[in-house]
Structures are given as C-alpha cells and as structure tokens.
C-alpha cells in the first residue's frame, strides 16, 4: 500500500466504513459523518473539480475557513484529484491572504461564512482570477455580497452543489473509472500541502509537505501511547485546523487511530467559539484535548478561581493534595521513594477520591496534549497533580510537524521534557561548528527523517539554508539529558510566538524602527508565548547627545529669561543665538540641577520617535498590530553581533531575561516605566558629564 493520505482514509474505511469520524454542532445537535461518508463526499468534490471546473493535477487550492467536516472534505477532495491544498489561517490580514494566494498560484479559494468578507476584500485583479468554493451551509453572507456586486456570481460555487454534481458524474461508469484512476495515481512524493507557517508579510515561506511526510508522521504516536477503541476515543478540535499541530495530530492521526473528531461550535463566530468551549467539553466528554499554553493556563486559572470561591478549608485541602501529588510524581521518570509514597499517601488518596473528581467534571478530559508552543513546567506539574496527564510534543511544520513526544509507554514520560526523538528520526544537538553536543549541553536541534519537508515553495535558497545534507536545522536550541530526553532551551530563530502559537518574523518591524528612528540604533522584538510583543532598544547616544544639548540650552534660556531683569534685556536674549548666549553668560554659576533635563519628557520623545514608522509612508499599515511592541526596555549597551554583523539573538535574550520578564509585569507593561527612567537617567548623566567636560 502506498504511503499516502488517500491510503490512510481507505484504511479507516476498510476498518469500519460505518464508524463515525467527523462531527459538527447544528441547531439539532451534533451531526456526525462516517469514514465512508467522508470518503464519498471527498471523491465527489474531486470529480466536480476535474469534470466541472477542469482542474488538473497539481493545481493549488487555498482553504480559508474554520475547522469543520466540510473543511476536511474539501482538503481530501483536493488530494483525491492529485492537487495541492494550501491551508490558510483565519487570523491573516487581507494582504497576507492575497500574498499567499498569489505566491502559491492558487486557482481556487474555499471559504465559509466567517471568512468570505476577507476573500471579498482581496485586490480585484487577484479576486477576478479566483474561483470561490463556498463550503458553508448558510449562504446568506455570500449571496448578499453577490447582490451588492462585491463578488461575481459566475466565479462562485457551493460545496453542496459540488458534491451533488460530482456524484452525478460518478454515477456514470466512465467518470467513476477516471476518478478511481486518478486516486490510484497519487504518489508518495506528491506534494499534499503548502503551508505558510512562519514568514513575514513580505516574504513568507511555503512549506511543501508530501503525502509520505504526513503518512509517516501519523505512525509515531502508537509507539508512545495506548489509545482507547473508537467508541471512547473522542477529540474536541479546539485549535485551528490549519495549524500544523492540529492538522496532522488532530485530523490525520485521528484518522489513523480511528478517533471521533468533534469540531468546536463555530456558529457564533470567533468570539462565540471561545464561549462554546465549556459547553462543548461537557457535551463531548473528550478523551484527549490538544492545547497550546494559553488555553491550558486558562483552564488552570478557572480551576484555581473555582477552588478559591469555595472557601478557605476547601482551598487548603486542594493545595495540600496538589502539593502531595506533585511531590510524589517528581519528574515522572524516576520512581518515588518508599518514604515519599508513605508520606503522600493520605493526601493523594483524598485528592483522588474526593477533591479531583469534582474538577474532572468541570474539565472532563482523560489527557491533554500540548504542542505548537512551549509549556511551562509548573503548568504541566499542575495538571499531572490533579490527575489529568499532560503530555508534551515538539515539532515544526517543516518536519510534518511532530519530532518528539512524551507518552505513557516504555518510560517515555519526563516532566519538563518534550520526549525522545521518534524511533525513525535521527536527531541530535549540535554546536555552531556542527559538532555534536554532549548530554546537557545546549545547542541547535537538528534532525533527519523521511518526514522532513520537500522544501520551501519557489524558495530554493531558504530550502538549502534550512535542510543541509538531509539534516533539518530547526533553529531551536535545546539539549538531551542522560536518559535521551529532549529539553527545549529557547528559540534561536527570530520568530515571535504568540500565546496561541501563532508565529511571525520580526525583522521587518525591527528594520522599520531602525530606519525611521533617530534615537534607536538597535531594536530586538520579543514575544515567546506572551500576551503581547515587547522590544529591547539600544539608543543612539550621538543623537541623544545632540538632543540633550538642545534641551539643556532651552532650559537655560528659560532660566535666563525668568531672571528679574528688564523686558528689554529678556527680548535681547530671546533674539540671540545659543552660541552668543553661551559666550555672553557665565554658565559656571548655574548648578547641574538647574541645567538638568526632564527625563520623562525625553522618554516621551523617544517613544514617539521609536514608533514613527507607523506614520511613515513606507511602513504605514504594513504590519499586523498584534506584533507591534506594546512596550520596550532600554538596555545600557549594544547587542552582541556576529561576524556578518547580525545580532546574536539568543545571547541577547539570555542576557536580558529579567528585563524581558519585567515587561510583562504591571509596571513594565508600558514604556514609561521605572526601568526605562532608571536606565535613561544613567545614560543622560553620562552624556551630561561629557557635555560638562566639553564646556557646555
């Protein structure tokens, strides 16, 4: 059997054609579709694409929609026609969508009620070339746009109609034979998807993943986990389906493991989807939930708030049992001592029988699987402490995406680790010179496997830089411990990563700041699973010196004109040049305090100057607001750079760890903060001393 996604679905159909696979919430409740129904719908879509629209093999088709059975049917239909899916994020800006559609050379874009407005706003010259496949049951949104002439009706097709027309073709033997032949021609090395995972607006990279990449990546979890049978193995799909983690682990590993996938109720729009999580959890009672740190933290916060609201006694009992469980668990790799077992027995038993079952009713899951972003050790300890296993995985889109995972089998779990490299993956940690690191030595994570991408679409230079001699250079730093467990130490790449795991490259924003600011000589943006972006700034002291001189002289002029002298003399002073004032007036008699400048005023000028790019015609509206820094911290010395004059980011981030954390406190959340006032005061004092020595 070929290692393709077509074969993967066929295996599921052969296993149990009538077993339910995908669900969505409707007004009547949860509506399910069997493996066989999904396959039939997908082949009908494939037949429609070829026989109605004339879509040929290897054509790119973009999908911009929330997760749903229709999303999966559309992608599978694309794959059955030996075409290429281009999954797009709901969070993309209009210009980002347009770039990806144009760069991928997509001829069709599939969209829903929630996303059609973004499609409508794509530039007319691009939109006119696109066919639109509307995959939502509710046609009101797109019909309104057609009636307003926002979209040309001739370019619009509906998924329900596509399935009906496709089935009409398939009812005829000659078309059915053609469809079967095309599906059989899908090869392992055929590109299945082009995923734009982490590029900037101007130059995103499209990761080309093959059928074989996906197929092999779906095999790994069975080596680490024992999943329940079909009836119990339910997944609630909270994460966006275009996200590499959810795409492979949710949709395709779910397909391999014969799981039931419930897509989050999206009828209320993006805000409604968030509100639907608690209700959907209770309705589905999922076995497994895939999470990113922000979601897990929100669960923990709500649990703790609920415990606190029940009074001091309940809270004390909860924390007593939690601490006992965490102590007993240790790192979950080394077994607890007999003494630990004995001393924690009572609180652990109390927790298991009385305290934690109430929590499990509110969060009815058997296990959490974290991916797409790093997870804090304490967060992981908390969930294990309340008897909800929290497993972590590591990967990147370029690796299809999973590289390692912790699990329940064969001593494959250790708190804080992201697991061991998968059995068919050759992974190691290397130094800058390419040599292999020793255990516990931090270096770059590299790996070699048949799950490594085919390359970046239309970008051979970036491909050659990322995949060297078959080794995928992740750009992430980590280490292997003595037991072979992988720990992530930080990101070597310059990617900003939101709490939800969304990624963005900061170089263009940094360059915009640098090129439009007179006061900022170096800028480094930071967001590592944080609620907002921050920045470190190195100030241009020459420019500051010029400005401080001007401010001092203005202060002196103000002081002089405030002296009790005649109006005639004041007028004469006001008309004199500063150099003439300096020559005519004995400044040595004026104290330093009187000549000192207003630090907060200077800081406000620096703030305005640093963000001048937002009004500059070259950069105005070029960047998503979420990635523009909310705050910044001034640092006292230039960043370390390498031989090519590039900032060594991980060293700078390590050097200013405490400063970065400060920017996510109440005091540091805005740029007018105690840190900046303190550092700027030191810089100003240094410059004023120089000016004094120069006689100014």
- Architecture of domain 33-186 in this structure: 3-Layer(aba) Sandwich (3.40)
Return the higher-pLDDT residue of 593 and 510. Answer: 510
Per-residue pLDDT for 201 more than 50? Answer: no
Average pLDDT, the chain: 91
For 384-423, give the secondary structure using H, E and C: HHCCCCEEEEEECHHHCCEEEECCCCCCCCCCCCCCEECC
pLDDT digits (tens, 9 = 90+) for 579-589: 555 555 554 55
Other C-beta atoms closer than 10 Å to the C-beta of 203 total 13
pLDDT digits (tens, 9 = 90+) for 116-160: 999 999 999 999 999 999 999 999 999 999 999 999 999 999 999
Per-residue pLDDT for 644 more than 50? Answer: no
For residues 92 and 213, what is the distance between their CA atoms, to the nearest angstrom? 26
pLDDT digits (tens, 9 = 90+) for 651-688: 899 899 999 999 999 999 999 999 999 999 999 999 98
Q: Which of 495, 540, 323 lies closest to 398, judged by CA?
A: 495
Residue with tokens 């020595």: 693
Per-residue pLDDT for 643 more than 60? Answer: no
Per-residue model confidence (pLDDT) at position 93: 86
Residue with tokens 């059995």: 423
Residue extents of the structural domains in the chain? 33-186, 288-491, 506-696
Per-residue pLDDT for 199 more than 80? Answer: no
Per-residue pLDDT for 336 more than 60? Answer: yes
Please state the rounded mean pLDDT for residues 552-557.
73
Per-residue model confidence (pLDDT) at position 566: 59
Cβ contacts of residue 304 below 8 Å, gap of 6+?
Answer: none
For residues 612 and 106, what is the distance between their CA atoms, to the nearest angstrom? 36
Indicate the pLDDT class of residue 560, thresholds 50, 70 and 90.
Answer: low
Edge to edge, the sheet with strand 503-504 lists 503-504, 496-498, 528-530
Return the structure tokens found at 574: 């006001």
Per-residue model confidence (pLDDT) at position 691: 85
Q: How would you label 304-324 residue by residue, b for 16+ Cβ within 10 Å and e otherwise?
A: eeebeeeeeeeeebbeebbeb
Per-residue pLDDT for 571 more than 80? Answer: no
- Architecture of domain 288-491 in this structure: 3-Layer(aba) Sandwich (3.40)
pLDDT digits (tens, 9 = 90+) for 88-112: 999 888 998 999 999 999 999 999 9
Domains 33-186 and 288-491 share a fold: yes
- Cα–Cα distances (Å) from 187 to 3, 7, 47, 109, 457, in that order, read 8, 10, 18, 24, 19
- Cα–Cα distances (Å) from 656 to 94, 277, 524, 642, 646, in that order, read 35, 37, 11, 18, 18
Q: Where are the alpha helices (DSSP H) in 285-402?
A: 293-308, 312-329, 338-350, 356-362, 377-385
Q: Is 442 helix (H, G, I), strand (E, B) or coil?
A: coil
Per-residue model confidence (pLDDT) at position 373: 62
For residues 401 and 395, what is the distance between their CA atoms, to the nearest angstrom? 5
Per-residue model confidence (pLDDT) at position 618: 72
Return the higher-pLDDT residue of 505 and 254. Answer: 254
pLDDT digits (tens, 9 = 90+) for 160-177: 999 999 999 999 999 999
Edge to edge, the sheet with strand 60-64 lists 156-158, 131-134, 108-111, 60-64, 84-87, 191-196, 206-210, 455-456
Per-residue pLDDT for 605 more than 60? Answer: yes
pLDDT digits (tens, 9 = 90+) for 226-272: 899 999 999 999 999 999 999 999 999 999 999 999 999 999 998 89
């Amino acid at each position: 059997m070929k290692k393709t996604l077509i074969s993967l679905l066929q295996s599921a159909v052969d296993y149990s054609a009538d077993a339910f696979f995908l669900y969505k919430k409707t007004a009547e409740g949860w509506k399910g579709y069997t493996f066989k129904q999904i396959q039939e719908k997908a082949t009908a879509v494939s037949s429609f694409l070829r026989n109605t629209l004339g879509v040929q093999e290897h054509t790119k088709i973009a999908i911009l929609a929330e997760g749903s059975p229709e999303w999966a049917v559309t992608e599978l239909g694309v794959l059955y026609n030996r075409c290429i899916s281009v999954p797009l994020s709901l969070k993309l800006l209009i210009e980002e969508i347009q770039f990806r559609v144009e760069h991928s050379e997509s001829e069709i874009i599939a969209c829903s009620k929630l996303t059609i407005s973004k499609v409508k706003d794509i530039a007319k010259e691009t939109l006119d070339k696109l066919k639109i496949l509307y995959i939502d049951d509710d046609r009101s949104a797109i019909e309104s746009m057609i009636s307003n002439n926002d979209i040309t009706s001739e370019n619009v097709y509906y998924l329900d109609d596509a399935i009906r027309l496709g089935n009409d073709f398939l009812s005829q033997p000659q078309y059915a034979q053609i469809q079967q032949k095309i599906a059989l021609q899908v090869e392992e090395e055929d590109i299945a998807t082009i995923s734009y995972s982490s590029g900037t607006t101007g130059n995103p990279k499209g990761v080309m993943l093959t059928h074989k990449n996906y197929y092999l990546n779906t095999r790994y979890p069975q080596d680490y986990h024992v999943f329940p049978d079909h009836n119990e193995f339910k997944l609630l799909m909270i994460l966006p389906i275009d996200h590499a983690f959810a795409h492979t682990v949710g949709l395709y590993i779910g397909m391999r493991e014969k799981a039931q996938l419930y897509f989050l109720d999206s009828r209320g729009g993006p805000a409604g989807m968030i509100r639907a999580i608690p209700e959907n959890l209770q309705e589905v009672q999922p076995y497994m939930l895939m999470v990113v740190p922000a979601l897990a933290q929100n669960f923990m916060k709500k649990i703790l708030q609920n415990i606190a609201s029940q009074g001091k006694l309940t809270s004390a009992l909860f924390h007593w049992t939690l601490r006992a469980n965490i102590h007993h668990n240790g790192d979950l790799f080394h077994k607890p001592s007999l003494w630990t077992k004995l001393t924690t027995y009572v609180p652990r038993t109390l927790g298991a029988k009385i305290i934690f079952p109430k929590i499990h009713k509110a969060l009815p899951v058997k296990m959490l699987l974290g991916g797409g972003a790093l997870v804090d050790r304490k967060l992981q300890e908390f969930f294990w402490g309340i008897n909800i296993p929290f497993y972590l995985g590591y990967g990147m889109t370029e690796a299809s995406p999973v590289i390692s995972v912790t699990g329940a089998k064969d001593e494959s779990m250790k708190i804080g680790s992201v697991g061991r490299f998968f059995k068919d993956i050759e992974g190691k940690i290397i130094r800058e010179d390419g040599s292999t690191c020793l255990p516990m030595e931090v270096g770059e994570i590299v790996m070699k496997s048949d799950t490594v991408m085919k390359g970046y679409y239309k970008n051979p230079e970036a491909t050659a830089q990322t995949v060297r001699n078959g080794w995928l250079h992740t750009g992430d730093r980590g280490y292997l411990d003595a037991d072979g467990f992988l720990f992530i130490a930080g990101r070597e790449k310059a990617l900003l990563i939101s709490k939800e795991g969304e990624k963005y490259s900061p170089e263009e924003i940094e360059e915009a700041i640098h090129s439009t600011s007179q006061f900022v000589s170096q800028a480094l943006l930071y967001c590592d699973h944080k609620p907002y972006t921050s920045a470190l700034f190195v100030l241009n002291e020459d420019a500051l010196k010029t400005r401080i001189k001007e401010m001092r002289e203005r202060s002196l002029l103000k002081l002089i004109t405030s002296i009790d002298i005649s109006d005639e003399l004041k007028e004469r002073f006001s008309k004199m040049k500063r150099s003439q004032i300096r020559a005519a007036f004995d400044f040595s008699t004026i104290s330093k305090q009187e000549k000192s400048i207003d630090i907060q005023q200077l800081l406000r000028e620096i703030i305005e100057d640093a963000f001048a790019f937002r009004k500059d015609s070259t950069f105005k509206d070029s960047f998503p607001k979420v990635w523009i820094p909310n705050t910044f911290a001034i640092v006292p010395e230039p960043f370390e750079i390498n031989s090519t004059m590039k900032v060594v980011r991980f060293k700078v981030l390590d050097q200013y760890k405490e400063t970065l954390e400060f920017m996510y406190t109440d005091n540091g959340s805005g740029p007018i903060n105690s840190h900046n006032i303190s550092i700027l005061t030191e810089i100003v004092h240094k410059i004023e001393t120089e000016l004094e020595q120069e006689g100014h």
